[in-house]
Amino acid sequence: MTNFIHQTELPLNTSSFTSTSSSKTTSPSNDGESLTSIEICAGAGGQALGLERAGFSHLAVVEIDNWAAQTLRDNRGQDGPHGPWPVLEMDVNDFDATPWHNQVDLIAGGVPCPPFSIAGRQLGADDERDLFPEALRIIEEANPRAVLLENVKGLGQKRFDDYRAGVISQLTKLGYSVFWELLQASDYGVPQLRPRFILVALKPEFAPYFSWPQKVEVQKSVGQALFDLMGENGWPGAAAWAKQANKVAPTLVGGSKKHGGPDVGPTRAKEAWRQMGIKGTSIAESAPDADFPVNDPDNLPRLTVEMGGAIQGFPDHWKWAGRKTAQWRQVGNAFPPPVAHAIGQSIKNALNKVPLEESQAAATPAGVPTSTKTKV
C-alpha cells in the first residue's frame, strides 16, 4: 500500500475556532460553515461519507484494515467536497486525539460489533475487540461538542444494561447529555432493514436542539435500488426482476477476518433473497449478461460487490479495494451513508442551535445510572 498519512504529519485547521481554555468547549460554527469531525473505526467510509454530505469536514479518518483504508484513499485520498480525507491506517488504540483538544466538533465512529452481535458469542467487555473504552478515551482527549457512535442492535439487549449504563455514566462525567436509539436503515432511504443502535452525545447547551431524524415517507425497494446495475450488461430480465423485487432486503453481513465469506448471510437471509429472485450462496463478479436465463428459478442472478454497495446506500462510483472477499467484508460491515447523513444533519442542526420545528420532538436523554457493575 502507498500514500500513507502518519498522524504526526496531519496539519491542524484551527481557523474556525475561537481560543478556549481546556475546560471549555469550542464555540459553535455559523450555520453555513463546515463543521469538523474525526472518524474512528471508519471501515469503508459509510459513516464518514454520510457525515460529509451533512456538512462535516474530516480532520482525521482512522482505520486499521489495510483494504478498507485503501478504499478510503482511493475515494477521498486526493479530493472531496470538503477536501481530501486525511486517512490514518493505524490501530485506534494508538490514536492520540489530544492535538485536537477543543478543536473538533464531532467524534464519530462504528466501534466493532462482534462483542455485542447476536451472531457472535456476545462477550461484551470481555471481548478483546471491544473498543468502547478507546472511544471514550479519545472523546476525553478531544473534548468535542458532539459524539456519534453506532453499533448492532444486540448492544440494546437487557444483558448489556450494565455495560450501557457504564458508557452513559462516563460520558455524563465528561460533560455530555447522552441519547441512545435503535434506528432502522430502511426508514432513511436504504433498501435494507439493518437495525443499528445509535449513540449521540452532546454538550448540554446543544442537547435541547437535538431531535432524531424524521423517517422517509416511502421506503426504497431492492428492485428500485438495483435495476440499473442488474441490467447494465444487457440482461433482458432486469425490468421484470426489479418489479418483483419490491421489498426491503434483510441485513447484509460481511463477516470478519476470522469468520464468514462473500455471501448474503445465514440461511434465513438467503431464503429472503431467493424470494426476491437472488441466489445468495456467493457473490458474482459482474451483473448478468444478455444470455443469462430469464424466469428460471434454478438460475437466479447473484449480487455483485457494487450491488451490495448500492443496497447499503453507497454511490455507484464508490471504489472497493482488494479481492472479492475483502471487498464484500467492507460492504457488509459498512454503516449506510444515508443514515449517517440523516443523523449528521440532526447533530449539525443541534450544534448550530437551530430551533426544532413543530413536527419534531426533542430527543429524550438516556437515564443517568446511580451505579454500574460493568466497567467500560
pLDDT, tens digit (0-9, with 9 covering 90-100), for 204-218:
999 999 999 999 999
Helix (H) or strand (E) segment spanning residue 46: helix 46-54
For residue 314, give the 3-state DSSP assignment. coil
Query: Which residues of the chain fall below pLDDT 50?
Result: 1-4, 11-31, 113-127, 129, 369-374
Query: DSSP code of 98?
Result: G
Asked whether the beta carbons of 116 and 124 are under 8 A apart, the reply is: yes
90-122: buried (b, 16+ CB within 10 Å) or exposed (e) per residue? bebeebebeebebbbbbbbbbbbbbbbbeebeb
Query: What residues are paired with 196 via a beta bridge?
Result: 152, 183
Q: Which residues are tagged catalytic?
A: 113
Alpha-carbon span 135 to 61, nearest angstrom: 14
> For position 15, what pLDDT does the model report?
35
CA triplet 338, 303, 311: central angle to 5 degrees? 10
> For position 259, what pLDDT does the model report?
55
Query: The whole model's pTM is what?
Result: 0.87
Where exactly are the structural domains of the chain? 7-215+335-351, 222-332
Superfamily, domain 7-215+335-351: Vaccinia Virus protein VP39 (3.40.50.150)
Distances (CA, A) of 38 to 2, 12, 56, 137, 376: 22, 12, 9, 14, 21
Half-sphere exposure of 160 (CA within 13 A, CB side): 23
Grid cell for residue 283:
457473490
In tens, the pLDDT along 69-80 reads 999 999 999 988
